[in-house]
Amino acid sequence: MFGDAKDKALKKLRKDMRSGLYSFLVLTILEREGELHGYAIRKKLEEFSDGRLVPSEGALYDILKSLKKYKLVDNFWAEVGGRPRKYYRLTELGREVLAELKGEIGEIMLILKRMEGLE
């Protein structure tokens, strides 16, 4: 019926809904998995979300940069198989912030359910 316009609108709104969660997801993955490099973080996100909540590579590096700026993650270089790899890990601050965010995500989900009348 609306074809093209509908696809464009859905693409945009889907993107918006996902993108606000990326920082949270990266922190969550690092908490579960410990130390990972960028590429591996993306693979883990694919695995855990069935490919639904995965930022593009460019976006992921921007997100990691931002998380580092806020001191929620830090990074170190390690030689693996003779090549340098950039590893990221949660800071203590990151762990604290993540704990609070989990609670808030729960609250947001409740509000959404109430609004949609999903229950």
Contact mark string toward its own copies, 38..57, x via CB under 8 A: ----------xxx-xx----
From edge to edge, which strands make up the β-sheet containing 83-90? 36-37, 83-90, 73-80
Structure tokens at 101: 């965010």
Told to check if 102 binds its own copies by CB under 8 A, we report yes
Residue pair 38/61 in contact (Cβ under 8 Å)? The answer is yes
Structure tokens at 67: 């998380």
Q: Which amino acid is at 46?
A: E
Told to check if 116 binds its own copies by CB under 8 A, we report yes
- Residue 26 contacts which entry, its own copies, DNA, none (Cβ below 5-8 A, type-dependent): none
Between 51 and 117, whose beta carbon lies closer to DNA?
51
Between 3 and 81, whose beta carbon lies closer to DNA?
81
Told to check if 10 binds its own copies by CB under 8 A, we report yes
Phi, psi values for residue 81, rounded to 5°: 60, 35
- Residue 111 contacts which entry, DNA, its own copies, none (Cβ below 5-8 A, type-dependent): its own copies
Max Cα-Cα span within the chain: 56
Contact mark string toward DNA, 87..116, x via CB under 7 A: x-----------------------------
Structure tokens at 34: 């410990």
